[in-house]
């Protein structure tokens, strides 16, 4: 079971969740999650408006690209992934780039960034999540 959250800049505790923000170019959300759960972090862009773009998920947005890359894509699909615990969910060709993290661990606490390469200077779309993993019951 997934819970769909629609709160911005909130701290929510739940065992499994899907967060689907409707945000501008950059946003930050913070959540508490339970150890062992599955989390889906949402990130999307308009392929119709921007064409297929390079996208990265990392532990930090960095200055020009994600730092500590978890998964990244180009216009042809996934080009790298660090672990099978991470997966992209959604239709990449329509701009849905949700990150699924399975079997959340305490070491997964911290920042996650989705960065979409939009042509032009300082046009990238960035969505940042901060997860605090709580001990399972």
Would you list the domain boundaries of the chain?
A: 3-134
Average pLDDT, the chain: 80
CA distance to 27, 30, 39, 84, 123, per residue, from 13 (Å):
19, 10, 12, 25, 32
For 46-94, write each residue's pLDDT tens digit: 999 988 888 999 999 888 899 999 999 887 777 878 889 999 998 888 8
Please determine, for residue 123, whether its predicted confidence score (pLDDT) is greater than 60.
yes
Distance of alpha carbon 118 from alpha carbon 95, whole angstroms: 12
> Among residues of the chain, what percentage have pLDDT more than 70?
80
**Assigned architecture for domain 3-134:** Sandwich (2.60)
Entry field: residues in the chain: 137
Q: Which of 27, 51, 24 lies closest to 41 in space, CA to CA? A: 27
Please determine, for residue 16, whether its predicted confidence score (pLDDT) is greater than 60.
no
For 93-111, write each residue's pLDDT tens digit: 889 999 999 999 999 999 9
pLDDT of residue 51: 86
pLDDT of residue 11: 32
């Amino acid at each position: 079971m997934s819970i769909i959250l629609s709160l911005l800049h909130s701290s929510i505790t739940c065992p499994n969740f899907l967060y689907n923000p409707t945000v501008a170019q950059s946003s930050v959300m913070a959540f508490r999650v339970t150890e062992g759960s599955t989390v889906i972090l949402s990130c999307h862009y308009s392929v119709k408006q921007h064409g297929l773009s390079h996208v990265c998920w990392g532990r930090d947005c960095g200055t020009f690209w994600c730092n500590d890359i978890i998964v990244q894509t180009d216009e042809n699909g996934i080009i790298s992934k660090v672990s099978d615990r991470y997966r992209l969910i959604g239709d990449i060709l329509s701009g849905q780039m949700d990150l699924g993290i399975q079997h959340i661990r305490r070491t997964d606490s911290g920042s996650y960034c989705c960065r979409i390469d939009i042509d032009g200077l300082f046009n990238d779309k960035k969505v940042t999540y901060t997860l605090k993993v709580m001990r399972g019951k």
